[in-house]
Amino acid sequence: MGTFSHKETRMAKIMHVQTVLMVEEIDALKAKTGETNTKDALAKAVTHFLECEYTQVENMWTRKLENAVKKRTIELYQEEN
């Protein structure tokens, strides 16, 4: 049996949180995430938000639109050639 360091056995801290949302928002979130229960839908949405490159910039909608236009421009260029 191996020896474990303190770092390997450290447990993650968790917190129970609550909020009030409209039923329509929860239903839309479940549909968008593909999850059937609220807890998993919220967890997936939070994870996505924290990992999404667009949430880290000052004007995420402008950046997202710029990237979409850039991608489409490249696609059109490749179709022409």
The residue among 54 and 6 whose pLDDT is bigger is: 54
Domain span including residue 37: 6-80
Cα–Cα distance, 55 to 72 (Å, whole number): 22
Confidence (pTM) = 0.56
What is the mean pLDDT of the segment spanning 29-55?
A: 91
pLDDT at 6 over 60: no
Question: Which among 52, 26, 24, 57 has a CA at the least distance from the CA of 39?
Answer: 26
1 inside domain: no
**For residue 12, what pLDDT is reported?**
84
20 inside domain: yes
| Cβ contact 36:30 at 8 Å | yes
Burial of 33 (0-12, 13-18, 19+ CB in 10 A): middle
SS3 21: coil
How many domains does the chain fold into? Answer: 1
Residue in this structure with the two tokens 């839309």, named with its chain if needed: 28
